[in-house]
Structure 1
């Protein structure tokens, strides 16, 4: 399991590296002192796990997670316990207070090792890696934030320069364009229904004809999305209608 340590304090990074020497299943592939440096390393090294400080000069750990398309497992490491509640609200794997105790680190890693890991997908050299249903994203809206599996997201809706993300009973907004998101998602699982909507095909409950040759799609949970006439034929083909 490849891990990246992100902390602006060099001694804190070294201390954690020393503690992790006893865990043969964890391979430390790098360390970063700030969010921008970490962002480049995450895209290059593709770690499975982040040990992430929250308060750093420049961007915070939360802001780093917002920058990522696909978010690895995260164990927050920080000296500020005021962030504990927020960290657990986002469904982080765990939260470790500095100085990190061996017992608590062991608990965190046992949680990690007990979780089923996402299977590695074979990637064709000519294909761009797309976000699949097993990937998770980080969504932050005001003081609330979540780690969300894409399998749980039933609908993306464009709203100006933002996208509304539908999962559970939540509809937080992220600052991205629907076109940019569409290029990242696996077309076998997500469908661009119109200029305003991308639907998760696994959430489709029923389909009926609509005006001007379009379709009306009802999702599990009750949301209704109109498929434009231009996209209707392609949608029928994907759903084998």
Structure 2
């Protein structure tokens, strides 16, 4: 029987990242997702859930409040951008506490903890070229409509506080997501060049020590990113 997983998070892209990570484990299955705790409560009553991936900061009811209200919760892995809830979460006997953006390496450690509790051997995980982790696109939520955006079409993304605006050759999409979390969904040829900008290195047409150019658009290189950015670009890595 597959390990049945539920993901509760108010950010669709965060759900997508966890779903992608889960897809590498052949004995695990995401049976449902929810964007708030109340919807998640209903799904827990409808499905037999073995492992719950739970965000903390959500509207109306936080993940921790939700967890305290459950009488017989499944194993829980918390997923959050905030460190300060770690101590309280362990008092609730959660399995692990993952900080966003969640790398696959860190996710694997959390799943290994689950396997050990179940006395299951650790499954070898080797992402294949066709796996979702190295897929060619993402879906972004804009006004409740999910738009497919190919990585090869992305030029750069800019941070607008709690939103990200993704620029492509022909369009732009503004979606609710922190840029640091958004980075976790992108392939390795996307790099952070500034606290407010992520660029597709395959689209860079020129660069200096101060900025990168994508066609006629100049994007600044932040002082704290300069060394890594220039090393990456001059080294020819994408």
Please tell me the TM-score bracket, short chain as reference. 0.3 to 0.5
Question: What TM-score comes out, normalization by structure 2 length?
Answer: 0.48
Higher relative contact order (CA 8 A, sep 6+): 2
Question: What TM-score comes out, normalization by structure 1 length?
Answer: 0.47
Larger C-alpha radius of gyration, 1 or 2? Answer: 1
